[in-house]
Amino acid sequence: MKLTYYGQSTLEIVVGGKTLLFDPFITGNPLAKDIDVNSLKPDYILVSHGHGDHVGDLIDIAKRTGAKVICIAEIANWLGTKGVENVHGMNIGGAFNFEFGRVKMVNAIHSSALPDGSNGGNPAGFVVYGASETIYFAGDTALTYDMKLLEDENIDWALLPIGDNYTMGADDAIKAAGFVNCKNIVGIHYDSFPVIKINKDEVTEKFIKAGLNLKLPAVGESIEL
């Protein structure tokens, strides 16, 4: 399973021959200035919540590619008012079978208002069940004991925010890895703004001491999971 990181919480994974793009925010992210947003051609777009650093390029990419957007019901309704029609609305705890595999929407602790002030519903994370691997995309979240509900899901990779201030930081992400019973972690939601800048060496050392495999791919880098 290939993952390509585009900065902040924006990344693509290829599952079941389909390209899944998460939380598209590229043109507003200075760390992603060398990424051509028009080169992205996802089959699906998964949106964790409504903040601008997660939906910044959502409408443009969805309209250009026709990708199906998977999101909370309130964001699905909002997208309809923006002319985006290929949308699958969900809610927390629900799951649905798509052509690439099964997606379950799970709880996240954060806030969620859309850039124009519209109601963004509840923030969420996603568990993506592919044919051979299971991925947990936590979205923007604090550490929450609800993550313990995922410990028996056989998660192969957990994509966890580590930037602190707006989300959990590295120390709580390590606890989250224990809650979801996953030793393979990709860090997200860091470095894009001064208040979420991390010391990568220190963070990496913390994960190593905890017996965890942390990946921090460079913006634009692809890795095999």
Q: Tens digit of pLDDT per residue, the chain (225 long)? A: 899 999 999 999 999 999 999 999 999 999 999 999 999 999 999 999 999 999 999 999 999 999 999 999 999 999 999 999 999 999 999 999 999 999 999 999 999 999 999 999 999 999 999 999 999 999 999 999 999 999 999 999 999 999 999 999 999 999 999 999 999 999 999 999 999 999 999 999 999 999 999 999 999 999 998
Q: What is the CA radius of gyration of the chain?
A: 16
Model-wide pTM > 0.75: yes
Q: Which residue has the tokens 């609800």?
A: 146
Q: DSSP secondary-structure letter at 14?
A: E
**CB atoms closer than 10 angstroms to residue 102:** 13
Task: Give the helix/strand (H/E) hosting 78.
Answer: helix 73-81
The one-letter code for the residue type at 40 is L
CA angle 167, 184, 136 (to 5 degrees): 55
